[in-house]
Structure 1
């Protein structure tokens, strides 16, 4: 599967359309690690999410689903989607902090999601 611009897999777990009980698992087999290791692909995902570049179908789904997932605390996410989301968020916070800040401002203007993940990251570093 060729991955083009779609935003940093950034919250890959959300690469799905909203459904009544759970997000679709259609994109659960996206190789998040591969995307995070490829700056070009990752940057294309970020550009998509920031409306600065074209999006793949996965990127469009992510952009559509992300606000609901953030507002609901990812309650409709599967365990696999939650795991991928955490991996992406940690990568962005540690390796692409500027992009993390930009994405957070756009998709989490009140900072609720960002605060939770930053607290979790700080706690995991102490452990």
Structure 2
């Protein structure tokens, strides 16, 4: 009986969500895009054109997996931030949006599912 309880506990532990850790899950994305020098600094980081500030790097590290898995391990705040980021990128930096997509999803296999999932947040 104890073995069954231990196995159930292990299965339950293995099934718990393991969310990404980022530098800040409370970013005001509208303010981010209003600050053009900061937005450019982050975009240059994301496109490997410049060194990354610590906060930008915390997001950049999760992009490949988060995009490929439709943000499966993103918490609600991260999904909201990612959605707002992509919408702001499309609206204010359309060419950068295309470059971002090409860099992180060169075969266009994942972005449609990603955007569908995070649009709910």
> Is TM more than 0.5 here?
yes
Work out whether 1:100 is the aligned partner of 2:106: no
Q: TM-score, normalised by structure 2?
A: 0.72
Corresponding residue number in structure 2 for 1:54: 51
Counterpart-to-counterpart distance in 1, 2:95 and 2:22: 29
Q: 1:113 to 1:94 in 2, by over 3 A?
A: farther
Structure 1 unaligned regions, length at least 5: 1-19, 122-127
TM-score w.r.t. the length of structure 1 is: 0.69
Unmatched runs of 5 consecutive residues or more in structure 2: 1-16
Partner of 1:15: none
Q: Of the two, which has the highest radius of gyration?
A: 2
Tell me the equivalent position of 2:36: 39
Q: Within 5 Å, give how 1:40-119 maps onto structure 2.
A: 40-116=37-113, 117=115
Query: What is the Cα deviation at residue 25 of structure 1?
Result: 5.4
1:76 CA displacement = 0.7
Whether the aligned pair in 1 keeps the contact of 2:90 and 2:97 (CA below 8 Å) is: yes
Q: CA deviation at 1:30?
A: 2.5
Q: CA RMSD in A?
A: 2.2
